[in-house]
Structure 1
Amino acid sequence: MKDLNTYLKSTKLSSKFACELGIEGGFINFRNSGSRGGIKEFTVSLSSLLRGLNDIKSNLEHFSGLTSYVEKDWRDVGSKYFQDLVLNSMITVQTKPCFTTLSKVISWANDKQEADFNDNNIDLSLKSIELAIERIETLIKQYTPPLNPSNLTVVNREQIKHHSMRDFAYQVLSTLLRENLSEIESIMSQEKPSNKVDLPFLPKTFILSETELNAESLSTGEASTLRFFTKPLTFGSRYIYISTQWYGDQRKGLSFGSLKLFLEKHFPQYQICKKENEYILFSTLQAPLPTSHLSKPFLLLAGISGTGKTRFVRKQVEGNIGSLNENYCLTSVRPDWHEPSDLLGYVSRLGEKVHYVTTDVLMFIAKAWRAMVDAGLSIQEEELQGKGKYLTVTGERDTLNQMLPYWLCLDEMNLAPVEQYFADYLSVIETREWKWQGEGFTYTCDPILKPATIKQVDEKDLREALELSGVKYDAVWELICQHGMSIPLNLIVAGTVNMDETTHGFSRKVIDRALTIDFGEFFPNNIDEFFESKTQAKVLGFPTLSHAKLEHFQSVEADNRASKTQHFFQSINKVLLGTPFELAFRAFNELSLSVVSISPKNEVELAAVFDDFMMCKVLPRIEGDEDKLLDNEQNNLLEQLIEVLESQFESILLDLQRPDLFRELIDAPEKPIDVPCRSLKKLQAMNRTLENGFTSFWP
């Protein structure tokens, strides 16, 4: 079989309408005959042609009699049934060139001879159309670059974008209904005698009519306002008219929230979000998310007020194409919080029956659990060695890669003593355990909401309060009642931190369980980029490991035997040995997980991981006066650390510059941003402050 481009070029002798595959592929250039003026060239993508062929197949009863070219007939039928906007426009104004291009594609797919091609005929048999669809689909894949999760950007997942809610809703519904006609019967099973879908949350979304309707029939009210788009979709012999009554505001009519609910009910493989005043539809099944996985699901974002710490969390949600309504929860910490019930709720015996008083945080945790069920992860009871019966979550890496993180932002986290109100989370976070076997995983974690607590209250009321009602969640709720509700694997907690006279400090118990980010150092406020930023934070994902193993290092090019990681850790800990700041197994595990998660390809990138480990895990623990900051030999501990880092980094890093692992250039994300060695800069600043009698990591 000839390739498509060779075939198209070979038809020049038998066709007045020249066309050829674009020089870089993925589209076809075609020309008119020039009989009505100058020759003009047009471009149509293979994807548009594929959609056109599918439209012909779906409406073959209307096309089958048009095998011989009649301009008016093809213009009328094409403009009515071609749902692709580009192809629909072309069939209207360049009917014959468009007709011949479709005919050539079908002829090529069915191995017809070029010399036999006729500009006035087209093969519209079902077998020929199906073969053309199959071969165009194969050809499109040749021009689709292979998916590399580390290089993916948001645009890979986007399907439809529009600034107008009305036009966005029309494009979304026309696309999804057209591509999933079999779903319409189940949707319409809820229709009323008026033949209008009138779900509780979605009034008059579209009309399904046995006959074509004119504008008058689609208008209502004294002003005869047009309520539906006049161009229908076809469903067999019936017609679908989509509502025009879409607004951003729920009170005015159909809204963004209405459309979101509609997709959740009928097309869960798609989601919508609003980003920078633009509405976006994206597939949740198309490609892995562009994430750099964290080594720990708990961040402390430290910095002076107004640097953008809370905004950073919101941008992480948007960067993952998540919804702020779905994937984000902002909780303002109160100064009078002193126990876990302030955060997670409590059992109340006031009233007619014992009930559980929930909080936004607990409801958000339940929402993350629902997302795991909706994603298709298996949640079950298993007998674990040494643990007995346990609630486990199992699944495949591909499913995990498609899941969106759920970001819980605790604003002004240290207005209250974190060790008190956050005690349950701090204890349970260390019980998380990931086990991988090939591409499959098992996740377990101790409960943060204990089963004994659930048994004290009305389980039905608590289930409804946590929005876990419905047959879909029956099995998981039964397991939660037996084993409690643990920290969901897709939850990330980020606490914003200011250090002043109104806030509390952090014990090493908290710091050891968190990744501390000095926000001003990691995400500097560059006033020159206030109006037009050149950099952005990389999109972060939830951890997929809990305990580092030597086998995990096999994929780390810069340190596949973990020897460099061990040597660096031991060099640092040798200075800290015998001081209150000495490191232990947990810290080494954190360093190892960071190396494995980032997977540096060379020594420069590995040094950047070590540098960030110092900033996030080691230096936040160090504070005190001159006496406290002495090593075993009575030397200045800070100066000793500076010497170790300089000896480690000077032979590797040119001018002590290293790549930024948390930011990227907006216009060239593949190009690294070089920044000064952060931990050396911080140690030098802390050492200067020590001259005043006391020093601390915290800004």
Structure 2
Amino acid sequence: MTLPIELSNIFKNKQKSYKMILIKAILDVMKGSDNREVPFTQVKEQFLKILRDREAGQLKVDSPPAKMASSWREITSVQLQHIINTPIEVLSAVLEYNKEQQTIGFNSNIYNQLNDEVIDELYSYAEQELENYYNQMDSSFSLHDALHSVMSSYLDAKKESFGGHPLGNLLRQVIPNGLKELSFIGDNLKVQGSVGQGNWANIPWIAIMDKRITGTTQHGEYIVYLFAEDMSSVYLTLAQGVTVPKNDMGKVQAYQYLRNKVTDIRKLISLDGMVQDDQINLTSGGLGQDYQVSTVAYYRYEADQLPDDEQLIADLNKVFEYYNQYVDITLHMAEVIKPKEVEDMDPMTTKERLDTIKQFINRNGFHYPDYLIENFYLSLKTKPFVILAGVSGTGKTKLVKLFAEAFGATNENGQFNLIPVRPDWSDPSDLLGYKDLSGNFRPGQLTEVLVDAMKPINRDKPYFICLDEMNLARVEHYFSDLLSILETQEWQGDRIVTSTLIHAKSLSSEDDQMIYGNIYLPDNVYIIGTVNMDETTHPFSKKVLDRANTLEFNYINLGQYPDMELVSKSIDSAQPTPNSFLRSDYLQLIDVYKENSELVKRNTELLVKINGILENIHSHVGFRIRDAVCFYMIYNERSDLLSEDIAFDMQLLQKILPRIQGSSMSVKRALLCLMEIALGTSLKISELADDASNLYKPSILEGAKYPQTARKLVFMIRRLEEDGFTSFWLS
């Protein structure tokens, strides 16, 4: 074929014969003319002549619109203008119609590609597609009659024997075969009808599936006619399979997955003219709810107002156009994402990967305390929100940057973003964005990162956001939305999603709705806050502390120097690491309890003992912290990173002690009781309550079961005795 690509598919979708006849008419008038544009009056005359000649020769031809005339001989010039406007508009990508000068022709780009060979081929193409269209019209199959037959006889048929019933043949054979004759139903489509298996179904259906994305109605997306249980109506829908998601995820999680998919598809493709809500009403039973949550869009036809074949086929063609758009996008996305499946299989063990990260950091001239990198990794794996606390200048921000770069996440590729917090931040708009006075949405830095991270091509890349000096402003004020969203994490297929951060309905323009509407916190985004505790900063509430691991940087060894042997070596370029290495594997304790019940019980028993101490000062913890500690311990044991005691020591220091502050004797007793647990020995609490100076000796930490926790407790007890007040956050 020598046709320009712009002309090669102009008849792909046909609702009537008008497009083919218009092209033939223009080419007929163009013969013998060197002008790009020809008189529109002559084209209209030729357009009408072709239709009248077929009618006079008793050949198959589209009837004039019923309200205009019964014959093409009766069509007036005004009526003809109305009819021909439609194909002109549909073909506007290749045609130019000058209303003022009353001329029409191919646009300059197409005209420059036309020669005798191309014109002949285009004419033959129009004639062939016209005959295909008329052959389709000659088919004895009537979609209107078939649908009407089902709705008028199905309820009676259900009272009769199922096997061999003619209505079963109509739905399984006759209708699918008739639909396959339609010009837009290609070989890649599977057409299937069902009245049930062994027994009459309450809701019979006829589905059209693109075999490239699904071959069954149990999962995936497809077009389907769904008959109401009482046969009062039939729905032509773009829908999703429900059975497999329900079996894989359970009903509640599957419904949420399907609802989210409906939202995604509605944003992805145009569905103009179709109803987009969840009011599809097929049955009063449970199956009706399945269809409500899984239907993307639909047309509803009442049994007593069923449209004619022309309208039914036009509607089906339109739905097929939308479906085809979705299939094309899905296949393209699958092709782009396919290499990521290989990347997701990390060839390194967790230990090996962390060793390469530590080497990368060391070769950049930085060194951090033993187990810090393992601890940082486990903390992010447990929850994608971590706080790095300590005195200024200890390398907190640098740790985040180097850790991210070791994953291949840099400022240049947008996977590492440093966001300095300002003291005047007072609400989430500083991070997420706001609408200006003209109603336009001004996205915040965090929103821009989330939009990029949510793109299908990026979903397996980790994104790191460093909120530098996070507590210069009150965290609960500007970070409140994120804190709440963190608690809405749930599985959607193989991804972890959250509730929506910015609702599309809250945005004014369609562009803003398309870009920023309904964004959420994806599972490849990790937020790390750095904090300094001094008189210029704000304290953290328990709401914040419950949701984060707090890593402390207060113990500094100034006598530590760079290892020049390591630094002198060339710095290996970081290799991109799949997001699965960092992403949480579990969201609920029940997901891992069966396989890790002994570990969970051991750590929970310790937490119960600790909670008994904390209750006396109203600082006890809930299930959120219990689960987070257990996840941390499970990830650690699975990867064999730290001993169980060292790992639990980290969790006491990071999840329990940050909650404690006060000046009362009850706070002191609680600290002393925790000291007993940290040291692993009994203490004379009553004596130490008056004077705990014996705990200040360095030797007290020798042989401690949880030395990091014990060390911090000594500091907190001493501050309480000397200053009359103590807190984890005092430096």
Q: TM-score, normalised by structure 2?
A: 0.43
Q: Which has the higher strand share?
A: 1
Larger Rg: 2
Q: TM-score, normalised by structure 1?
A: 0.44
Q: Which has the higher helix share?
A: 2
